[in-house]
Amino acid sequence: MIKQSPFLLFFLLTLAVFAAALEPPPEEDPIFELYMHDILGGGSPTARPITGLLGNIYNGQVPFAKQIGFTPPENGIAVPNANGALPTVNGINGVPLGTGLSGTAYSGQNLNGIQTQLGPDGLSLGFGTITVIDDILTSGPDLGSQPLGKAQGVYVASSGDGSTQMMAFTAMLEGGEYNDNLNFYGIYRIGSAMSHLSVTGGTGRFKNACGFAEVRPLIPSGQHQVDGAESLLRIIVHLKY
């Protein structure tokens, strides 16, 4: 039997305590929030539908289509909007109903429970519409809050009933504490209280970042009026490295 020296035991115990003291405490996952302003139509839009039937209406490429006050010719048949009525565009700002991220105002069931208008193939009129975005990111819900950068990418009407948008965009964080890019991908559920997007990576400070984002729709405060159709999203980002 080997007899251990008390000095050796004391030395090993001291070394273990010293190593534990040097070990940094586990860091909490970084969490921060952004507010994304998606504006369709009006004088200063940040998003534009570029493909699909509704995108063509938005750009005036469908015969007899106008952005505001669409009236079919005599004996003509109009393309119906989300509630089956005329015009096919929102008369306030000229945006085709069924586009954007504005929930029941533009797609899915509206407040009266009326279903999205379907085409001859059984799919919603907005299905397949691709919208390109250059949305404003701010530190608070008001459009006049501190700007943090831009969200650039696309969202696609990806469900036959018009209830979801597939989103893929890069948050270019230029102001405030953050000055780097973060990539997001996932499904935004129109009219849902919360959706989730995946964080697929980033650059600079966010290199090797992963995680997810909670996305909640909010009603714009109205302190800064816009003449387009604004959708406001609160994005809470949870990161891991």
pTM of the model: 0.72
Distance in angstroms (rounded) separating the CA atoms of residues 172 and 39? 18
* Separation CA 219–CA 35 (nearest Å): 12
Q: Which pLDDT score, from 0 to 100, does residue 7 have?
A: 63
- The per-residue pLDDT for 75 is 53
What is the per-residue pLDDT for 127?
83
Q: In residues, how long is the chain? A: 241
Question: Encoding tokens for residue 163?
Answer: 């209830």
Residues of the chain with pLDDT under 50: 1, 25-26, 64-72, 80-88, 103-115, 176
Residue 27, Cβ neighbours under 10 Å: how many? 7
pLDDT of residue 12: 63
Cα 47 from chain centroid (whole Å): 12
The span from the CA of 138 to the CA of 26, in Å, is 30
Q: What is the pLDDT of residue 204?
A: 86
- What sign does the dihedral 117-120-124-126 (CA atoms) show? negative
Distance, in Å, from the CA atom of 27 to the CA atom of 200, rounded to the nearest integer, reads 21
d(C-alpha 116, C-alpha 51), whole Å:
19
Q: How many helices (H) and strands (E) does the chain have?
A: 2, 9
